[in-house]
Amino acid sequence: MKLIFVLVTSFTLFACGASSTRGKWNDNDRQEAMKDIKEFSSALGTLGSAKNLCYECYTDSLEKIYDNYEASKQLHEDDRLGILMDCAVKYIQFD
């Protein structure tokens, strides 16, 4: 009986994946952040192919401050755009 309990518990923990922590979000939180930030893609037209680098920068910035993506949603939209623009400046391309 103990073996079954251990197997079920192990499977459940494995299936749920690791939870996010500040500085190390799980894949689900990173994907949610990326999905949400892509709504601002029209504002990043000058980045061209570097747009994905900007998205990564934005997600990394939030990850350094918040324990998970849900917690980062408390950030005001103007502050979100500020972080995004800081990242955009790093990757802007002048062709």
Range of the domain at 86: 18-91
| Domain tally, the chain | 1
Residue 63: how many CB atoms within 10 A of its CB?
Answer: 21
Residue 1 is predicted with a pLDDT of: 58
Does 45 map to a domain? yes
Contact (CB, 8 A) for 45 and 83: no
Question: pLDDT, tens digit, for every residue of 19-71?
Answer: 888 888 999 999 998 888 877 776 677 777 788 888 899 999 999 999 999 99
pLDDT tens track for 79-93: 988 998 898 888 876
- Domain presence at residue 10: no
93: left (phi over 0), alpha (psi -120 to 50) or beta: beta
